[in-house]
Chains A and B, each alone.
Chain A
Amino acid sequence: MSDIATEDFRAMLARMEAQGHVTRMKKPVKPQHFSALCTKAPGVLLAEKVEGYDFSMAGGIFWTRARTAASLGWPEGELGRRFASAVAKPIPPVEVEDAACQEHVFTGDDVDLSNIPIPFMHEKDGGPYLSSGIVFANEPNVGVNVGCYRLMFRTRREMGIDLFTASDLRRIYTKFYEQGKPLQIAVAFGVHAFEHMGAAYKAPAGVNEIEIAGGLRGAPTRLVRAKTVDLMVPADAEMILEGELLPNGWTADEGPFGEFAGMQGDLKHNPIFRLTAITHRRNPILFALQMPWENDWLNGPATEAACMRILSLAGIPVVAVRATEGGCCGWSMVVSIRKRAGEGKNAIAAILSLPVVKQVIITDDDINIYDSNEVEWAVTFRCQADKDIVILSGMKAKHVDPSVRPWDMKPGELPLTSKFGIDATIPEGIPAFRYERIVPAYSDSLRLEDYL
């Protein structure tokens, strides 16, 4: 088992710091200033002191492909492939008795969210937000569900939770709401990238995302029994909030909050989370996950893995898959394949059938898809717009995309979108030598350093 397989959140940060990914901030910072400083930092930002609090604060861990790969200890080009193989080999968690996440326990009147430096993050947000929580809930007769959900500070005991979009947690909550019963949840903060990415993964109902996290880790996640709710939580987390989602339905104002698509979201109405306990480590580190890239990069590897899976089902030899940052790590893909006749278009059809992907570029395997100039070169010289751009309309869309004009829709109506793919592979019938690239003479035998 590798050392990374047994890491917790702070060991992951320490390793990333040793690799040069972390910028330490020595002077105390106000919670409402942390996000702006994160966007200016060259690496993960670690605030050693937060004004008025006993917490330190970290942000920007998943801000780029490079940092995401470093957090997992995987090569940058391998995110999709490694994610796919981990999902195929889930590992069940183990139960432990003593847990660092319960070094300090606050229950009853001692539960007070104002003791946590919940950061105010974006100009138009509806309040301070905890953005890095992974929510555990039990679905009777089905099992444990884990997902990432943002939480807005309302009062010292209550937070808003965003259950607006269809999800497993929303479905479970709806069952309880319809019976007028509260739903117990526990929310873990400061978990390792493995657990965070497992929670972000849209696993089918009944699949425990913590087993997926185990697959990513290559070792079981350690869980401990929560103090006031009947749930198991990550023993090595920095902090746990326990409590229940009240059966108030979609009535409490929540948001706006800077959303994963990079736009300031709308005001929503959502359920309320009432706390029964706060537990945390000694000298806790609050992970203030920064929108949108940290949210997006938690999904990127899963989308790359889904592209690989669907291309392999379609029998297309895939070489590399890249979720681009501009496409929020899932809406826009670049894929290189070892093409046989017609497979450029087949690949477009397969990939555009994935719910989130809105555009895709397919190239041959001689193109380095991580170099945007090479991809543009292929699109420029290997594509004829009237033959090689495929447009599909009337496909399933997401409300978060303003170009589908969600505000014009009738209540209950679902948005539709058009999607496109660019086949930038060498057109059928054009011999490869027509694309022979310039090679500087004697390039293999000469070294610049010998002349400096």
Chain B
Amino acid sequence: MTRSGAREELVGKIEALLADPAFFKDVLDLCTDAPYRDVLIAWSAVREKHELMRDEFGRYWIPH
């Protein structure tokens, strides 16, 4: 898979995770095989694409 394809896949994985509330650490734990830099890039893309919600514990989720 190309680098940008792998990053797209990461975005999808993070979006799926955020169907339910999750901490940022859950995002990192989901992406342990990916380079850290790719996780930052994917997180940036998720932030730009969605208005992320937060709960009082600081967890993120994407409203349905």
Contact = CB atoms under 8 A, between A and B. Distances in A.
Interface of A: 30-32, 51-53, 113-115, 117-118, 120, 123-128, 153-156, 253, 255-256, 266-267
B37 A52 contact: yes
B49 to A, nearest CB: 10
A26 B54 CA distance: 38
Contacts of A267: 54, 56-58
B12 to A, nearest CB: 18
A242 B44 CA distance: 19
Contact of B52 (A124, A125, A253): A253
Contact of A124 (B23, B35, B48): B23
B30 to A, nearest CB: 13
Contact of A255 (B28, B37, B58): B58
A144 B58 CA distance: 34
B28 to A, nearest CB: 6
Interface of B: 23-25, 28, 35-37, 40-41, 43-44, 47-48, 52, 54, 56-58
Contacts of B58: 124-126, 255-256, 266-267
A118 B47 contact: no
B47 A120 contact: no
Contact of A154 (B25, B35, B47): B47
B37 A53 contact: yes
Most buried by A among B25, B28, B36: B36
B40 A114 contact: yes
Question: Chain B contact residues: over half helix, strand or loop, or mixed?
Answer: helix
Contacts of B24: 120, 125-128
A156 B47 CA distance: 10
B52 to A, nearest CB: 7
A92 B31 CA distance: 48
Given A127-B24, A267-B54, A153 B40 contact: yes
A114 B35 CA distance: 11
A118 B23 contact: no
A415 B44 CA distance: 37
Given A124-B57, A128-B40, A266-B58, 17 more contacts: A30-B36, A32-B36, A51-B35, A52-B37, A53-B37, A114-B44, A115-B37, A117-B37, A120-B24, A123-B23, A125-B58, A153-B40, A153-B44, A154-B47, A155-B47, A155-B48, A266-B56
B37 A120 contact: no
B59 to A, nearest CB: 9
Contacts of A31: 36
A316 B41 CA distance: 58
Nearest to B45: A155
B41 A32 contact: no
Nearest to B24: A127
A297 B28 CA distance: 30
18 contacts: A32-B28, A51-B35, A113-B44, A114-B37, A114-B41, A114-B44, A124-B23, A124-B57, A125-B24, A125-B25, A125-B58, A126-B24, A126-B58, A127-B43, A153-B40, A253-B54, A256-B58, A267-B56
Nearest to A127: B24
Contacts of A127: 24, 43
Contact of A153 (B23, B28, B43, B48): B43
A243 B43 CA distance: 21
A32 B25 CA distance: 9
